[in-house]
């Protein structure tokens, strides 16, 4: 009798395992990295951002970061504006340093470098803006930092801003 129960138990476990495996693989079959993007959205053009900040080269750096991130993400193809479904434009609005830590005697020992970028992503098929908003990021900066440290802080802030813009673009649906 015990061997009959064991055979039934083994069959039950095998059947349950097969069902679980089948459900797992079929549910993954419908997964897409495109998220909730409409099917007609296949590509994006990234315009060189305008620069209202005094720091040269920042728009080019942000543009390259955005291009690399969209290419690495592989959800949308980066193309020229004439072939694009989406258009990403924007402006480097400001790069400013503000005191963050003030010690006795009002001596500033640490600053915050704040980069603000306004970005707009437009669906070229419908003419609707998916978003049109500012993105900013602040980085701690030693109060005695030189130009190299300032440029490193700007680059760090731009990486985070580019990532936020990528996420806003892909999650705007």
Q: What is the pLDDT of residue 13?
A: 53
Q: How many CB atoms lie within 10 A of CB 172?
A: 15
CA distances from 115 to 23, 93, 98 (A): 47, 8, 11
Higher pLDDT, 139 or 102: 139
Would you give the DSSP letter of residue 48?
Answer: P
56 in helix, strand or coil? coil
- 107-123/86-103 β-pairing: antiparallel
Q: Is pLDDT at 97 greater than 80 in this prediction?
A: yes
CATH architecture of residue range(s) 38-170 = 2-Layer Sandwich (3.30)
Q: Is pLDDT at 164 greater than 60 in this prediction?
A: yes
pLDDT in tens, 10-36: 665 555 654 555 445 544 443 444 456
Q: Is pLDDT at 86 greater than 70 in this prediction?
A: yes
83 in helix, strand or coil? helix
């Amino acid at each position: 009798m015990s061997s009959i129960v064991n055979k039934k138990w083994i069959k039950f476990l095998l059947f349950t395992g097969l069902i679980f495996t089948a459900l797992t693989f079929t549910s993954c079959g419908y997964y897409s990295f495109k998220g909730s993007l409409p099917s007609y959205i296949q590509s994006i053009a990234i315009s060189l951002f305008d620069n209202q900040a005094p720091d040269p080269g920042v728009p080019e750096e942000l543009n390259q970061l955005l291009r690399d991130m969209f290419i690495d993400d592989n959800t949308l193809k980066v193309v020229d504006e004439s072939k694009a479904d989406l258009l990403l434009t924007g402006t480097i609005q400001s790069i400013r340093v503000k005191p963050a830590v003030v010690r006795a005697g009002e001596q500033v020992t640490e600053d915050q470098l704040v980069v603000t970028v306004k970005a707009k992503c437009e669906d070229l098929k419908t003419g609707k803006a998916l978003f049109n908003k500012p993105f900013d990021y602040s980085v701690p900066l030693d109060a005695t930092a030189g130009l190299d440290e300032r440029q490193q802080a700007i680059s760090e802030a731009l990486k985070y801003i580019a990532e936020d813009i990528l996420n806003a673009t892909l999650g705007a649906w």
